[in-house]
Structure 1
């Protein structure tokens, strides 16, 4: 006698959940103006500059292809290498002083006061145009009429040619830009410090740690991604110094302040060597790319100790 197998019970169909909203189209619509601006003002000039670097183009003739001749000439151009050395010296002075002062200011704001007025005051020098900053400090540091030298004379010291002495010219330029950009850098670091959980400081204080120890063992390690970003931006910005030098010293005295941007400008618009200036600019792009990569790797910028 056979028995019929019971049919399996029917299960109710599972209701489909709500469809996930796809915002990619809206995101691309918002990105289109930025991408258009990047293509017009950055990508196209870069490609065109790379092409000009392989030509003998000037404002007086049409571009003729010369291959890597401009780069070969750069390799033996002592003025180019001197401008790179001068720029490197400025970068070390500017980033070193700016970062140290900005770290101190950000730590003081983070641990002592969070005044909005103080933050706005720190940002004021950054809002002043670079040409205005250069003119202001050129008058303040003037060897004969400058307020700084009048102050030194009142203290019984001798006048100093801050912008005319080859030994003092570049440190003076670095200090001018440190004054202009330290407040902005301090606010970036301060914003990064606000992301550090407050309970870490409270626990350290209960264990008897002082402010200096908490800064060294809590603030600096957890601030590393933001600090890496600030250093990379400062590095690129420092290599692009032009306005302050063009207004104050124009590359003098004796080439002590002839930075790489001023050298490229002179080759392009004073001697009309557009192809050669483009090659120097592309060499600078490669140097900045390499330095940025090394800096990001050394600082482990993609990792955070907060994770």
Structure 2
């Protein structure tokens, strides 16, 4: 057989692989057809607003007149704006308290469910606060924690204790909002950790028990390291969600008292829809996107999210 005829009949040649390639091309068209609605929705509701917002950040736009290009003036003004940096500081404080408390409580709840009970009723109960709209959650806790009429302060007064200004004390307002949102999301986060724990082979825990490892040591040295991909996912999602805190602040405090709870999202909202500085608000949004991208990249690299020891 000549070299030319061998090349024509060899496995993997164009003639031999053409049916397979045609089938793959057909599968690609079918896949594109099914994901087309998602791609269209992404382009309309995410990509286009993002591009539009970046363009607005280089303009002086007030919603009442046509945008006028101003170059990098908005970016320079943001860097010199003390209120912007104060809102970032308030937001970072909220993120640390909320993500820290939510992650720790969720890990504990997931470990208790995994080791003690796997009740469907319990899992459903944990998920209920997450299903309640954020505005409703804010209103419920606003009434419960009100300084004068709230049930919690009424209970404290009945025990002879002083009332607490949960939403009126500048030193307490951010921890209060953080714990409210921890209450709302900890069940959902715990179920994510619980699902990850179910993927860990049971014989791993049995081997640790035979070696004499207690519950705390097993949790710290086996469960948590093996949950690294899930932990990375939860931390990234929680971080992004915490920076987007708006509903509870808008309902309960409106940024007060004395801007002690004015987080970055609420400040952007004020600039855009209260003062009609749409271009300036878009600039702050661009800063926030870049910051979240950097923090997410750092988290994924530090946690080595792509690596998993679960076999």
TM-score, length basis structure 2: 0.92
TM-superposed deviation, 1:24: 2.2
Counterpart in the other structure of 1:241? 245
TM-superposed deviation, 1:157: 1.4
Counterpart in the other structure of 1:216? 220
Please list the CA deviations of residues 245-275 of structure 1 after superposition, one character each: whole Å capped at 9, or x if unmatched: 0000000001000000000000000010010
Counterpart in the other structure of 2:262? 258
Please list the CA deviations of residues 159-198 of structure 1 after superposition, one character each: whole Å capped at 9, or x if unmatched: 0000000011111000110000000110111111111111
Are the counterparts in 1 of residues 199 and 310 from structure 2 also a CA contact under 8 Å?
Answer: no
Moved more, 195-204 or 246-255: 195-204
Q: Which of 289, 299, 306 does residue 295 from structure 1 map onto?
A: 299
Asked whether 1:116 is paired with 2:125, we answer no
Q: Which of 53, 63, 68 does residue 49 from structure 1 map onto?
A: 53
Correspondences of 1:1-307 after superposition (within 5 Å): 20=20, 21-22=23-24, 23-306=27-310
CA RMSD of aligned residues (A): 1.7
Name the one with the larger helix percent: 2
Give the Cα–Cα distance (whole angstroms) in 2 for the partners of residues 102 and 71 of structure 1.
39
Give the Cα–Cα distance (whole angstroms) in 1 for the partners of residues 115 and 236 of structure 2.
26
Unaligned runs of 5+ in 1: 1-12
Please list the CA deviations of residues 248-305 of structure 1 after superposition, one character each: whole Å capped at 9, or x if unmatched: 0000001000000000000000010010000000010000001101111111111112
User: SS state of the match for residue 309, structure 2?
Assistant: coil
Q: Which runs of 4+ in 1 moved over 4 A?
A: 13-21
Give the Cα–Cα distance (whole angstroms) in 2 for the partners of residues 217 and 51 of structure 1.
49
| Shift in alpha-carbon separation, 1:44–1:17, aligned structure 2, 3 A | closer
Give the Cα–Cα distance (whole angstroms) in 2 for the partners of residues 215 and 300 of structure 1.
19
Aligned residues: 295
TM-superposed deviation, 1:14: 10
TM-superposed deviation, 1:151: 1.6
TM-score, length basis structure 1: 0.93
